[in-house]
């Protein structure tokens, strides 16, 4: 892993989280046909044009912030760190006695510094 220095900041790691649910292009084509009566797509056209055969999709109960929390947990773990006040489940201490989960609004800016440490 390379560390990039910029002023007093550095990037110590980078991770992504991709939802485990996959949707193949055949299913996408079928959805288009079902939602557009009279419109037909030649089978395999999307895959041939885009090169995409399947894609990851979030569950209906997931938000983009859930993906961010999972990626953050992975990068912290890969760097041997854990955000103070965070439980392994992804819940973090927002204020004394108040727990934040990925389904709640983003932490207020005044909390960012304490979570980053």
| 93 vs 19, more confident | 19
Which region holds residue 5: left if phi is over 0, alpha if psi is between -120 and 50, else beta?
beta
pLDDT at 64: 87
| 42/109 Cα distance (integer angstroms) | 50
| 12/67 Cα distance (integer angstroms) | 19
Question: What six digits make up the tokens of 84?
Answer: 């103070």
| 104/24 Cα distance (integer angstroms) | 31
Q: What is the pTM of this model?
A: 0.54
Question: What percent of the chain is predicted at pLDDT more than 70?
Answer: 62
């Amino acid at each position: 892993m390379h560390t990039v220095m910029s002023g007093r900041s550095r990037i110590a790691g980078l991770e992504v989280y991709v939802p485990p649910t996959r949707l193949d292009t055949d299913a996408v084509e079928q959805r288009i046909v079902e939602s557009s009566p009279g419109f037909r797509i030649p089978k395999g056209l999307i895959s041939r044009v885009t090169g995409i055969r399947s894609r990851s999709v979030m569950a209906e109960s997931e938000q983009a912030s859930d993906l961010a929390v999972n990626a953050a947990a992975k990068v912290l773990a890969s760097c041997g760190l854990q955000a103070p006040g965070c439980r392994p489940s992804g819940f973090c201490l927002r204020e004394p006695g108040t727990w934040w989960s990925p389904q709640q609004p983003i932490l207020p800016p005044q909390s960012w510094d304490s979570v980053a440490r």
